[in-house]
Amino acid sequence: MGQINPTLKDITVKVITKFGTIISIAAVLMATCGAMDAQAQGKDVWPSKPIRFVVPFAAGGSIDVLARLMGRHLETRLGQSIVVENRTGAGGTVGADFVARAPADGYTFLFTAQGPLVLNPFLMKRLPYNAEAAFAPVTVVAEAPNVLVTNQAFPVANFSELRGFAKANPDKMTFGTQGVGTTGHVTGELINQQTGINLTHVAYQGFPPALTDVLAGRVGMMIADTINLLPRIRSGQLRPIAVASAKRSSVLPEVPTFAEAGYPEIVSGPWFAVLAPAGTKLEFRRKLSEEMRHVLAQRDVQEKLTELGVESRGSSPEQFDSYLKSEFKRWGSVIQKAGITLGN
């Protein structure tokens, strides 16, 4: 092959050099854009670090046990640690306020019963947060329906007999609970408002003293949730009169509901749910809700919940939002009609 014309050679080198430069620049730009795109996508990958469940009640209680149970299973599904942190005080208000003020980044959640959300706003004169606006719903995890019980000596066996006994013996219609403003207390007031009978509330400092007085006959009845009552009902210490659930409870299937006695509005009991600070992305909340529902469907989790005396639920953020609004309205009405306050 002959020599390449010098002019043509120069042009060829320039073209190749220029083309190579273009390729190099293009490669750099593509790599940079790819890195930026991956970085941008990384910001939306959730979770990318440990998640915190704030429980506004004491360690070892039913809510704490439930939060830790769910946390252990979620760690496997999400690939991140779940840290359960107890921040107690003021009927759950302290922990709820902490979450309300936390960054809405999808890494801090409130794992609570309904008190700080739908009871305390009406029981307390002042709350440090706006219960209707401070939180973004994730899911309802489980519930434990309340049960109206008596000791074995109390002369009624069902709610129909109790109504007749109430008319003849109004002075003996006392019911004990774990304290003022508890779900047991507001359930008793709901029963009064729905049925027209007059149950007189006797507040105790916790479940044990209330149970002691009911068993001793110093108080006629008691209203508490299945978590506390189930062992005493199964042992025969207490007689269940009616359960405050929409349908018969899976943990007490032999006990009739208030609805069966003609009072479908008497549905009450602690429910346990997860919420995020307001402003937390819906996609994060939906993912956590979906993963929690997967956990709740596991047989070993179902068995543990039954052992605890609670029933699994599970809901989407949208379903929970609707339920939360209805509960806020319902319990606000009951509490205000009954004139219950905690005096703060």
**Domain spans of the chain, in order of start:** 51-144+270-338, 146-261
What confidence tens digit (pLDDT) does each residue in 59-72 have? Answer: 999 999 999 999 99
Predicted confidence at residue 151, as pLDDT, reads 95
Predicted confidence at residue 43, as pLDDT, reads 56
Predicted confidence at residue 8, as pLDDT, reads 41
What confidence tens digit (pLDDT) does each residue in 290-318 have? Answer: 999 999 999 999 999 999 999 999 999 99
* Superfamily for domain range 51-144+270-338: Bordetella uptake gene, domain 1 (3.40.190.150)
Checking if the pLDDT of 147 tops 80, the result is yes
Nearest-angstrom CA–CA distance, 290 and 276: 15
Predicted confidence at residue 344, as pLDDT, reads 61
3-state class (DSSP) for residue 179: coil
Residue 232's pLDDT band (boundaries 50, 70, 90)?
very high
Per-chain mean pLDDT for the chain:
90
CATH class of segment(s) 146-261: alpha beta
Q: Which residue has the higher pLDDT, 42 or 122?
A: 122
Residue 202's pLDDT band (boundaries 50, 70, 90)?
very high
Nearest-angstrom CA–CA distance, 185 and 200: 10
- Residue 92 near residue 113 (C-beta atoms within 8 A): yes
Predicted confidence at residue 188, as pLDDT, reads 98
The pTM score is 0.85
What confidence tens digit (pLDDT) does each residue in 74-99 have? Answer: 999 999 999 999 999 999 999 999 99
Share of the chain above pLDDT 70, in %: 87
User: In terms of C-beta distances under 8 Å and separation of at least 24 residues, what long-range contacts does 153-161 make, across chains too?
Assistant: 153/217, 154/217, 154/220, 154/221, 154/239, 156/241, 157/239, 157/241, 158/241, 158/242, 158/256, 158/261, 159/241, 159/242, 159/256, 159/258, 159/261, 160/261
Nearest-angstrom CA–CA distance, 131 and 192: 27
Residue 171's pLDDT band (boundaries 50, 70, 90)?
confident
3-state class (DSSP) for residue 113: strand
What confidence tens digit (pLDDT) does each residue in 174-189 have? Answer: 999 999 999 999 999 9
When pLDDT is averaged across residues 101-113 and rounded to a whole number, the result is 98
Classify residue 102 as exposed, middle or buried by CB count within 10 Å of its CB (0-12, 13-18, 19+): middle
DSSP line for 33-88: HHHHHHHHHHHH-S-SS-EEEEESS-TTSHHHHHHHHHHHHHHHHHSS-EEEEE--
Predicted confidence at residue 27, as pLDDT, reads 46
When pLDDT is averaged across residues 243-254 and rounded to a whole number, the result is 96
Checking if the pLDDT of 46 tops 90, the result is yes
